[in-house]
Chains A and B, each alone.
Chain A
Amino acid sequence: MDPVTLGVVALMGAVATIGGAAEDLESDIGSQSNPNSQVQLAPQMGHLHRMINKAASGEPVAYGVWCGVAGAIAYLVMSLGMMPLIAIAMGACVAAFVHAIYTVTSHMGRIVGQSQFEQPLFMDVLTQSLGPIVGHGFITSFCIVGISYLMTIPLNGTPLHVFPLPLLAMLWGIALGAIGSSTGDVHYGSESEYQKFEFGGGTPVAIQGDIVTKAPLGAKNSMDVVNFCAKFGGPLTGFCFGLVVFFSFWNTVVFGVYGGIIVGIIIVILLIIMDNYLEVFARNKYGPYEEE
């Protein structure tokens, strides 16, 4: 076991945790992924709203693009001799710019696509939410390209991964998007958007679009959703992604290639047992969802 490599792996896990949390919160502001189509349906259900409808595809493709672009620009700037930290920040800046453009086109496109239901295009909603969306996106791209870069630098002669930086950044961006979409969704804007429905019922197709559009004071907006999600949803997603990154490398660094595979299988089995226990516990404690 090499302590320096292990330290780098731990650092990667920590950075990935921050990136994962920022990714989930960004998608909460933008109503991306699962609830996005439901916000889209709200005007048809008679609920005009002041929410952002950022339908820049699903999170995996979107984060593949932002992180891939950030990785490509960082790779280029580094090849021109710039310091890696500055290069990664420059890459994340360009990615943030691209992110902002896609946010504007998707929000405007989807709102205008509902114009027959008298849904106004609120420009102030867009301008107010754009900063937080792009800011969280910047943090995420920076973190993902950062961990990808750590994978490519040779530690004691061999890097953790042989792929070039842009390819790694894109792959980890897709992985993060998938984790943000699957883990974050559970604690997602949908709980905030559908708070009038009983907890535990999920969001069946019949209620999609039947969202809450008013807040305790004034209209509910996307910033209310992210405030709601920031306590558990974002950190949990970050924790999940951080663990994925950490356990992707920790076992092989500590136990070698073959030992690492065996340890990896043991970790997967333990996780299955823990998940099953958690689900059984939650269902026994809170009861199954019952149709009235």
Chain B
Amino acid sequence: MSAGGSADGAAAGAVSSTMLLALGIVGGLLCIYVSGFLGDVVGPVIAGIGAVLAIIWGADAIRRVASYGLGTGVPSIGYMSLSVGVISALAGLSLATKLNIHMLGPIAGFVVAVIIGAIIAIVATKIVGMKIPIMLQCTIEIAGAATLSILGFAVAIAGSYDMMVVYEHVVATGFIAVLFIMCTMAIQHPFNACLGPNEDQLRTLKCAASTAFLSMTLVGLMSVTTGGLGWFVVFIVGLIGWIVSFRAFVLASCNDAASTKWAGLWPKVEQ
């Protein structure tokens, strides 16, 4: 077993993983597409919320695959999947530009992520020999979530999923690298932070919502120079979402702890 891993086996949870998957894919893609029709102020917020949904889905997928005892591999699979996410997102948008069908961009990026994720999972299971039954499904899911989170935040900064606009405001400025590492952290951190025998899915998801909204708040700041008031709305919505989810996580942690103390020593327990 990994250091501090919760259990060697499939992780159960109060919230259905299928529901989170549907929320991530449908919600994420829908928000990214709808944002294009909502103007400069509301559009970026909706795109940001799409990215938040994708991050929560990705965090749940990490939780499921990592509960097989990945341990210190939790950040690694996050890192790897987000690199797939960046490549897929840019490949999808470029493909759409090449074909001159801009609407194709986000969905093409998602499909590319699924393909690359599947290839990586097959290499990991068949060649490297990792014995995780849900490796294929979860790697595809995390890569898909990574792509949608990158796309959602990129659209929130640029205000459009047109490749040239994304290139100018997200790639050329170097923000793409920050999105990559920030989304890596947001997706892998919740399970990595909460792991242990008493890890609980709801608490982990509350942590995921808090990391996702924190990223959205930062994305709001990053879109300051893009123009319009959109950045401020993204920032405020992200901040409110973060306060609510962070508070929920802290309260859940205090309730679930063996005891919460502000001073003193630990209790004496039978060895």
Contacts and interface: CB of A to CB of B under 8 A. Distances in A.
B173 A75 contact: yes
B184 A170 contact: no
B249 interface: yes
A113 B198 CA distance: 4
Interface string A159-184: 00001111110110110000000000
A61 B218 contact: no
A121 B72 contact: no
B97 interface: no
B225 A117 contact: no
Given A40-B4, A57-B75, A57-B185, A112 B257 contact: yes
Interface residues of A, number: 63
A37 interface: yes
Contacts of B259: 118, 120-121
A192 to B, nearest CB: 19
A123 B198 contact: no
A106 B224 CA distance: 30
Interface in B159-175: 172-175
Contacts of B194: 109-110, 112-113
A156 to B, nearest CB: 23
Interface string B209-252: 01100100010011011000000000000000000001001100
Given A65-B185, A110-B4, A72 B175 contact: yes
B150 interface: no
Nearest to B195: A113
B261 A123 contact: yes
B75 A58 contact: yes
Most buried by B among A55, A123, A168, A171: A55
A41 B79 CA distance: 24
A50 B195 CA distance: 19
Interface string A36-59: 011011001010111000011110
A2 to B, nearest CB: 26
Contacts of A168: 174
Contacts of A111: 253, 257
The prevalent SS among residues of A at the interface is helix
Contact of A123 (B176, B262, B265, B267): B262
A40 B6 CA distance: 11
B263 to A, nearest CB: 5
B32 to A, nearest CB: 21
Nearest to A57: B75
Contact of B192 (A41, A50, A94, A106): A106
Contacts of A253: none
A113 B196 contact: yes
B257 A98 contact: no
A75 B189 contact: no
A120 B203 contact: no
Given A40-B4, A110-B194, A121-B260, A57 B178 contact: no
B266 interface: yes
Contacts of A94: 218, 221
Nearest to A73: B221
Contact of B258 (A62, A64, A76, A116): A116
B257 A121 contact: yes
A108 B250 contact: yes
A118 B257 CA distance: 8
A4 interface: no
B261 A115 contact: no
A197 interface: no
Q: Which 7 pairs from chain A and chain B are nearest by CB?
A: A113-B196, A164-B174, A37-B3, A167-B174, A48-B266, A109-B194, A109-B193
Given A37-B71, A163-B174, 13 more contacts: A41-B4, A50-B266, A57-B189, A58-B75, A64-B184, A68-B178, A108-B249, A110-B194, A116-B197, A118-B266, A118-B267, A120-B260, A166-B174
